[in-house]
Amino acid sequence: MATIETAVLALIAVALVYAAMQLHFIRRNLEAKAFQEKSHQRIGIWTAQLEKEALHSAQDKFFEHELYKRDVLFPEIDELTLRERRAIMSAYNIEILYFQNLFYQRQQGTISSEQSKPLHYMRCMMDAPQRRYWKTFMRQNNHYPADYVAHVDSVVKKYDQVEEVMDLDQNAEFEAVVLKIFDVPPPPTWVIR
């Protein structure tokens, strides 16, 4: 008789643990979905407000004057107009929010590391002014969670290493240096049979 009661109690305990795990999983998915929806709304609003003409003009100047190499804040770049500066900063903020959303989804387990590969490179950090803006302002405003800040900091350090290699070897190809520093595995070889 006692063994039947023990077995029933064990089954009830297992069922309660299972139900609690399911509730936790559902709650976590709902939180992740709410965060994702809020991020998408903000990205949509910011993208609609983005002055695309000024952004394209700023991007052209970044290329023409090699502004991407300057380790300065955006206001210190005299070649950019106020509109261009605002546009490029807005585009950068949109990218940061996009990557925060990606980071959150990966943390919550709603996407795989394969789906979140862009997090490893965060191309918005390629240019020195964006990294300076992150280092001196964005990371310190307590708007981002500590683990996300640590992730971005690690990406920033790797792009800083890329810059160092590029400065030492003027003939180095940028993409090849990025792949090496970020330790990107080579693509699989295609075997044709």
pLDDT for the residue 148:
94
Please, what's the b/e burial string for 71-110 (b: 16 or more CB within 10 A of its CB; e: otherwise)? eeebeebeebeeebbbbbbbbbbbbbbbbbbbbbbbbeeb
The answer to the question of residue 169 being in a domain is yes
Average pLDDT over residues 157-173: 92
Whole-model pTM: value is: 0.76
Please, what's the b/e burial string for 137-159 (b: 16 or more CB within 10 A of its CB; e: otherwise)? ebbeeeebeeebbebbeebbebb
pLDDT at 132 over 80: yes
pLDDT for the residue 17:
67
pLDDT for the residue 159:
95
pLDDT for the residue 78:
93
Average pLDDT over residues 97-102: 92
The answer to the question of residue 51 being in a domain is yes
The answer to the question of residue 190 being in a domain is no
Quick one: CA torsion of 83, 97, 35, 112, rounded to 10 degrees?
150
Reported as a pLDDT band with limits 50, 70 and 90, residue 139 is: confident
pLDDT for the residue 42:
82
The answer to the question of residue 140 being in a domain is yes
**Residue 6 domain boundaries:** 2-181
The answer to the question of residue 170 being in a domain is yes
pLDDT at 16 over 80: no
- Mean residue pLDDT across the chain: 86
Residues in the chain, overall count: 193
pLDDT at 27 over 80: no
Q: Per the structure, how many domains does the chain have?
A: 1
The answer to the question of residue 25 being in a domain is yes
pLDDT digits (tens, 9 = 90+) for 58-88: 999 999 999 999 999 999 999 999 999 999 9
The answer to the question of residue 193 being in a domain is no
The answer to the question of residue 188 being in a domain is no
